[in-house]
Amino acid sequence: MDQVFDALVIGAGFSGLYALHKLRSAGLNTRVIELAEGVGGTWFWNRYPGARCDLESVEYSYSFSREIEQEWTWTESMPAQPEMEAYLNFVADRLDLRRDIQLKTCVTSMAFDDRTSAWLIQTDQGQRYRAQFVIAATGLLSVPLEPAIVGMNAFAGTSVFTSRFPRDGVDFDAKRVAIFALVQ
């Protein structure tokens, strides 16, 4: 049985959270599907040491809500990843967005049904959704770029990527480390 929504948003980063807020404000029954186990998009995934915003926080924050602007206090002008992720969690909680966000779920297919003028969406959890509108708020950094290095599959050590850096970090003590920077 399909779950029916007016709108379905894919991704719970900056754009996805804003889309959910605006669609709800317009009276649309909306669901957000998010691959990660938490909200934040880029700021959830990219947690490598030194990750930070390259714009001033006032420019990289929501301006649609005077309450959010007044209630959140930035600790520095160009915040680090943990503060950016905390900000997006604050917004999700302050606007009560979580109740319409489904985490740890991947959209596996979408097809438009001309007969009903609706999108049919399936997930890796086996759910089926039907929605009149779909917003792909997956962002530019939603797919990690992993290098195609010959023999990498046979490497027995640990490989760490900036786009999927472990939440608990990595202990590099007493280890030989190689760093690769991809330039395109």
Domain with residue 34: its CATH number is 3.50.50.60
Beta bridge partners of 110: 121
Whether the model pTM is above 0.85: yes
Q: Does residue 24 form part of some domain?
A: yes
Q: Into how many domains does the chain fold?
A: 1
Q: Does residue 179 form part of some domain?
A: no
The boundaries of the domain holding residue 84 are 3-136
Q: Does residue 181 form part of some domain?
A: no
The mean pLDDT value for 125-151 works out to: 87
The whole-angstrom separation of Cα 137 and Cα 10 is: 5
Q: At 138, list the tokens.
A: 């997956």
pLDDT at res. 76? 93
Name the band, by pLDDT with cuts 50, 70 and 90, for residue 158: confident
The mean pLDDT value for 89-112 works out to: 97
Q: Does residue 44 form part of some domain?
A: yes
pLDDT mean across residues, the chain: 91
Q: To the nearest 5 percent, what fractions of the chain are helix, strand and coil?
A: 25, 20, 55
The whole-angstrom separation of Cα 115 and Cα 33 is: 25
The whole-angstrom separation of Cα 144 and Cα 114 is: 33
Name the band, by pLDDT with cuts 50, 70 and 90, for residue 170: confident
Interval 6-28: pLDDT, tens: 999 999 999 999 999 999 999 99
Name the band, by pLDDT with cuts 50, 70 and 90, for residue 184: low
Q: Does residue 148 form part of some domain?
A: no
Best CA proximity match to 169, nearest among 76, 81, 86, 98 = 81
The mean pLDDT value for 151-155 works out to: 85
Q: Does residue 162 form part of some domain?
A: no
Q: Does residue 150 form part of some domain?
A: no
Interval 48-98: pLDDT, tens: 889 999 999 888 899 999 999 999 999 999 999 999 999 999 999 999 999
Q: Does residue 157 form part of some domain?
A: no
The answer to whether 11 and 139 have CB atoms below 8 angstroms apart is yes
The whole-angstrom separation of Cα 4 and Cα 11 is: 18
Say yes or no to pLDDT of 142 above 70. no
